[in-house]
Chains A and B, each alone.
Chain A
């Protein structure tokens, strides 16, 4: 009778770890075997070729649209920036604001109309003129439709 009592635990001790290992590693290997990577396009290969050959110029830096303002801006300090919409984390032009800051750094872009110089980057001239009138700026340099360098009226 005592033999029967010990047989079950011995069987249990020997086989259970084997079954556990088999189940776990079998599942993991099946997951690895059936894993897939997202599809790639021809563009992926072309861009890699350009990047590795040192042709970095074909990658346009975010905020490149603001390059027209660069020659007329101070190199350091802060300027105000006006886009079609006022800054708000969920406003449609917020990403444009971030891109401009990234492109023009270390110049600081202020969302408030506190700075002497302002960049006006709007889709229409009427919006740009509206901002300048409302916030006390006058056009200093006209660059394109809705695009100005403005300065604060003293």
Chain B
């Protein structure tokens, strides 16, 4: 099998799944969204199918996972073709509107055309750099070689012994971590029939490009096309993301799922479409299926959405809790898979199953302000280097001040959800560092710079939306 068929297959599965889920829903820039979200969604689903296959029948798991995936694709394709035959696609308003002889219209479109050109040039430059840098670290960074790829090797090399990855003897590999990334690596190797060295960097690149496209989708849908292209370009020049993509860390897939979950949640809240809440839930569930930090994120999103639903209840809006239930429905399968690992397979985690009592946690949390100041200082030190973040967190602070000044205007458009998502994600990490079982300085040094990545995409979307004072889209 060719390496590109391995990439195309999850993309096609993701495309069909999302297309079917979003049928008959008014959804802005649908094609761009599908372009950005198809590969990660499909990859997440492939890893879930693989996990269930290994769980049910390890000896036949390779065949079952590939065959059942193909069956699902065939079923979805049949449904999709039938649906489009019965509901022929209508021309979009913009497609009818474009008249190349209209000079005024062309002049109006000039900034977005220039933005697109800038985006394309930057994208090509970054892709060229990636193709030249990835082979230098083809096995990925430390965590990738020794945790993520190791687990993928258990899946691929010995299907019958795959549960060896949860052995307490391998305590240092985070045995309780969810399996999206090892799952998709193993899925590709199963498809290709060998441990391809090209596959992990291709997966990593797929998630990185999806992060870019999902930001372009959101900003072009809710601010303007120009903002979309320039926002995407700005993400491309953030060295932190490119660096960790080259090293194939699972923080890039997690960044995608966190960003995509909240941005689709924004689309759902603004349109009040139940199906979009389900899509947002699926993406949030896949975040929880990627890393433990994704589980924490899923809890924060549930808290935010739960709060919004309670307000809906007091405002006497019909079916006030439908968004929350829709979100949970979407997140159900990945959450179940993560739950199976937490409660039945990898029961020796750093936090869950660590044997520490509530009193231990209480002592760690309230041991004084020194720890809090150390962690906050580390956040400051890691968020301010210009080479890595290009001033993104400065833009975020200015946007937060503007949000505070224009509170009334922004109440109805839910832009504050983006702000609170960023704050809550990082507050969660502040909390986790308080209760870490590791040496605090060592833990901060080896993980905080990657944890900050998770909310960066949302900070970018929030900044570009808040700091664009003349909008093209309502």
B125→A37 contact, CB < 8 A = yes
B233→A99 contact, CB < 8 A = no
B118→A105 contact, CB < 8 A = no
> What residue of chain B has the Cβ atom nearest to residue A103's Cβ?
B153
CB<8 Å pairs between A and B, sample of 19:
A16-B469, A18-B469, A24-B395, A24-B468, A31-B234, A31-B391, A32-B118, A32-B237, A40-B133, A44-B133, A44-B135, A51-B197, A95-B142, A99-B145, A101-B150, A102-B145, A102-B146, A102-B150, A105-B150
B132→A44 contact, CB < 8 A = yes
Q: What are the interface flags for B119-156 relative to A under an 8 Å C-beta threshold, 1 for contact and 0 otherwise? A: 00010011001011101101100100110011001100
User: Knowing A56-B197, A99-B145, A106-B154 touch, does A45 contact B237 (C-beta < 8 A)?
Assistant: no
- Please list the residues of chain B having a beta carbon within 8 angstroms of any beta carbon in chain A: 118, 122, 125-126, 129, 131-133, 135-136, 138-139, 142, 145-146, 149-150, 153-154, 157-158, 161-162, 164, 167, 169-170, 172, 196-198, 230, 233-234, 237, 390-391, 395, 438, 442, 467-470
CB-CB < 8 A to B131: which residues of A?
48
In chain A, positions 5-61 with a C-beta closer than 8 Å to chain B are 16-18, 20-21, 24-25, 27-29, 31-32, 35, 37, 40, 43-45, 47-48, 50-51, 56, 59, 61
Q: How far is the CA of A141 from the CA of B154 in the complex (A)?
A: 27
Contact of A98 among B136, B146, B468 (CB under 8 A): B146
> Interface range on chain A: under 10, 10 to 19, 20 to 34, or 35 or more?
35 or more
Name the residue in B122, B135, B150, B442 with the highest tally of chain A Cβ atoms < 10 Å from its Cβ: B135
Give min CB distance, A152 to chain B, whole Å.
Answer: 16
A129 at the interface (CB under 8 A from B): no
Q: How far is the CA of A32 from the CA of B392 in the complex (A)?
A: 12
CB-CB < 8 A to A78: which residues of B?
167, 169
A108→B164 contact, CB < 8 A = yes
CB-CB < 8 A to A20: which residues of B?
467, 469
CB-CB < 8 A to A106: which residues of B?
153-154, 157-158, 161-162, 164
A110 at the interface (CB under 8 A from B): yes
Give min CB distance, B75 to chain A, whole Å.
Answer: 33
A62 at the interface (CB under 8 A from B): yes
CB-CB < 8 A to B162: which residues of A?
106
Q: How far is the CA of A87 from the CA of B125 in the complex (A)?
A: 43
CB-CB < 8 A to A70: which residues of B?
none
Q: How far is the CA of A37 from the CA of B136 in the complex (A)?
A: 16
Name the residue in A17, A43, A76, A105 with the highest tally of chain B Cβ atoms < 10 Å from its Cβ: A105
In chain A, positions 90-104 with a C-beta closer than 8 Å to chain B are 90, 95, 98-99, 101-102
CB-CB < 8 A to B234: which residues of A?
28, 31-32
CB-CB < 8 A to A99: which residues of B?
145-146
CB-CB < 8 A to B233: which residues of A?
32
Q: How far is the CA of A112 from the CA of B136 in the complex (A)?
A: 34
Q: How far is the CA of A119 from the CA of B120 in the complex (A)?
A: 53
A48→B132 contact, CB < 8 A = yes
B146→A21 contact, CB < 8 A = no
